[in-house]
Structure 1
Amino acid sequence: MSKEKVIEIQNLTKLYKNGRGIDDISLDIYRGDVFGFLGPNGAGKTTAMKVMTGLIRPDRGEVRILGYSIAEEYEKAMAKVGCIIETAESYPYLSAFENLKQFARYYPEVDDKRIEEVLELTGMLKYKREKPRRFSLGMKQRLGLAAAILSRPEVVILDEPLNGLDVEGMIAMRNLIKGLAETETGTGRTTFFISSHLIHDVELTCNRIGVIYNGKILDVDSTANILKDYATLENYFVSEVEQSGRI
């Protein structure tokens, strides 16, 4: 049985005048994957995710999500996608609950019960009457994740979701992501595409990993395969980067 491709990225290129960006990236992400896009800051992770979600246009190449082209059928491609790129945005003077109520306007099927549910899932229920301007970065990240999963999306794209979280928050976020990826929804399991420079967390969170360095994909493999050959993901990462002869 062939696995269902949920995100297809082909020959994606977006280069800036300073030489940074992404160069000829191709990737397939399958249903139920928790895919870790691993690379140092400035490697091109955010650029790739902005192109994937239609925030910037590529110089060339294509992205399809759930079979729809981002360039040609943007609304259909993004209809079942939840994402946080760069920072989790919120209205600072509305409560956590009111923030999610604002997001819910786009989704007729999301009611107050679902809002309470995602606040509970992300550990934010006890802060539902509080305003994000008083929140720590980690709490803002949790609220952002609550917004991203509000409509029960099939695909969740998260740029550095573990940034700013304390150890407890990281464990909670990791368990939440794994739990959602393993739970069958009406259409199957939620698929995650997560970027991070935190090697240890990617190792513990993701079942497949793509290493990006200087805008290029060095390798894509399953975490299980990598850990058969290397003691840690960090050893693998260093080895991949050294093989590409750039350190």
Structure 2
Amino acid sequence: MSNKAIEITSLTKMYDNGRGISDLNLEVDQGDIFGFLGPNGAGKTTAMKIMTGLMKPDLGDVKIYGYSILEHYVEAMEHVGCMIETAESYPYLTAYDNLKMFARYYPHVDEQRVNECLEMTGLSRYKNEKSRRFSLGMKQRLGLAAAMLSKPKLLILDEPLNGLDVEGMLDMRKLIKRLAEEEGTTFFISSHLIHDVELTCTKVGVIYGGRLVNVDKTQHILENYASLENYYVSEVDRNGRV
């Protein structure tokens, strides 16, 4: 298994409206918490959909732990958990029953693991409530619990803090850091919440106009800029935003 969790090579996907991603090249090491920043329409979700096999690229490839998502999809996704765009669930099932349903896809996931994921995401006390009654933040927690079920080595999360209150954001930040430090879980996270990315991610990539304009370690960025927000604005301005 490659020590590179993700290797993106010349990835291109263009839409009729001229948006998309163009010639994206990126490597993410095992154990990184990678933050993917960019304005709306920059191509974040498109890239993540291709990474998880939900969309085919026009050109290029993505390798996950050395396996191409185009040629060896099953092997590539074997150690991946993901939540893209919205956290889907069965609205008339309880949180517990939703996870039990998802657990059927993983032969090694038992009832104990289901309860662990409910506990880690703060849903234990709501385990018997139907998800149709959940707030957006609670649905996000349930989506994250589902993504974590199989103890994946890599979690690909699109706007995971969307809809969470302040307490929920703090809980998720702590959980992400704990999984990275204690279990070596790699994270690829897109977010528009720059402050949370600054406090959570070890490395940051900025995408603008469908192109990856820079990648750097968070620590190095903060040695040169007052905040990640200042760095982000500088990168976006430097690449032509008015």
TM-score for the superposition, normalised by structure 1? 0.96
Asked if 1 retains the 8 angstrom alpha-carbon contact of 2:81 and 2:155, the reply is: yes
Provide the rounded CA distance (Å) in 1 between the counterparts of 2:193 and 2:208.
14
1:238 is aligned to 2:233: yes
1:12 is aligned to 2:11: yes
Amino acid aligned to 1:226 = I
Matches of residues 88-167 of structure 1 in structure 2 within 5 Å? 88-167=87-166
Aligned to 1:211: 206
Amino acid aligned to 2:122 = G
Amino acid aligned to 1:174 = R
Provide the rounded CA distance (Å) in 2 between the counterparts of 1:117 and 1:197.
29
Amino acid aligned to 2:229 = E
Amino acid aligned to 2:10 = N
1:197 to 188, 192, 202: 192
1:246 Cα deviation after fit: 2.7
Amino acid aligned to 1:242 = D
Provide the rounded CA distance (Å) in 2 between the counterparts of 1:45 and 1:211.
9
Aligned to 1:180: 179
Residues 104-154 of structure 1 deviation map (CA, whole Å, 9 limit, x = unaligned):
101111110110011000000000000110000000000100000000001
Provide the rounded CA distance (Å) in 2 between the counterparts of 1:182 and 1:12.
30
Matches of residues 39-78 of structure 1 in structure 2 within 5 Å? 39-78=38-77
1:4 Cα deviation after fit: 2.1
Asked if 1 retains the 8 angstrom alpha-carbon contact of 2:80 and 2:154, the reply is: yes
Structure 1, unaligned stretches of length 5 or more?
Answer: none
Partner SS, residue 183 of structure 1? helix
Partner SS, residue 234 of structure 1? helix
Provide the rounded CA distance (Å) in 1 between the counterparts of 2:210 and 2:82.
21
Provide the rounded CA distance (Å) in 1 between the counterparts of 2:85 and 2:240.
29
1:175 Cα deviation after fit: 0.7
TM-score for the superposition, normalised by structure 2? 0.98
Provide the rounded CA distance (Å) in 2 between the counterparts of 1:221 and 1:76.
29
Partner SS, residue 146 of structure 1? helix
1:164 Cα deviation after fit: 0.8
Asked if 1 retains the 8 angstrom alpha-carbon contact of 2:84 and 2:157, the reply is: yes
Structure 2, unaligned stretches of length 5 or more?
Answer: none
Aligned to 1:222: 217
Number of positions where the alignment pairs a residue of Structure 1 with one of Structure 2: 241
Identity, in percent, stands at 69
Aligned to 2:23: 24
Partner SS, residue 86 of structure 2? coil
Amino acid aligned to 2:205 = G
Partner SS, residue 165 of structure 1? coil
Partner SS, residue 21 of structure 2? strand
